[in-house]
Amino acid sequence: MGEKFLVHGGARLTGEVTVGGAKNSVLKLMAAALLAEGTSVLTNCPEILDVPLMADVLRGLGAEVELDGETARITTPAVLNHRADFDAVKQFRASVCVLGPLMAREHRAVVALPGGDAIGSRPLDMHQSGLRALGATSSIEHGCVVAQADSLVGAEITLEFPSVGATENILMAAVLAKGLTVISNVAREPEIVDLCTMLVQMGADIEGVGTDTLMVRGVDKLHPTEHRVIGDRIVAATWGFAAVMTRGDITVNGIAPETLGVVLQKLQDAGATVTERADGFRIASPERPHAVNVATLPFPGFPTDLQPMAIGMACVADGTSMITENVFEARFRFVEEMVRLGADARTDGHHAVIRGVEQLSSAPVWSTDIRAGVGLVLAGLCADGVTEVHDVFHIDRGYPNFVGTLTALGGRIERVS
Q: Which residues are catalytic?
A: 117
396 annotated binding-site participant: no
Helices then strands (H, E): number in the chain?
14, 26
Annotated binding residue at 374? no
First to last CA, the chain: 9
State the Rg of the chain over Cα. 21
Nearest residue to 91 (alpha-carbon basis) of 60, 118, 114: 114
Q: Which helix (H) or strand (E) holds 127?
A: helix 125-133
Q: Running DSSP on this structure, what letter comes out for residue 134?
A: T
Residue 23, annotated as binding a ligand:
yes
Distance CA 226, CA 217 (A): 22
Distance CA(289)–CA(410), nearest Å, equals 20
Determine if residue 93 is labeled as part of a ligand binding site. yes
Rounded CA separation 74/30 (Å): 7
Beta strands 320-324 and 294-295 are: parallel
Q: Per the annotation, does 348 bind a ligand?
A: no
HEC states along 154-210?
CCEEECCCCCHHHHHHHHHHHCCCECEEEEECCCCCHHHHHHHHHHHHCCCEEECCC
| β-strand pairing of 294-295 with 280-284 | unpaired
- Within a 10 A sphere around the Cβ of 94, how many other Cβ atoms? 24
Binding residues for phosphoenolpyruvate: 23-24
Binding residues: 23-24, 93, 305, 327
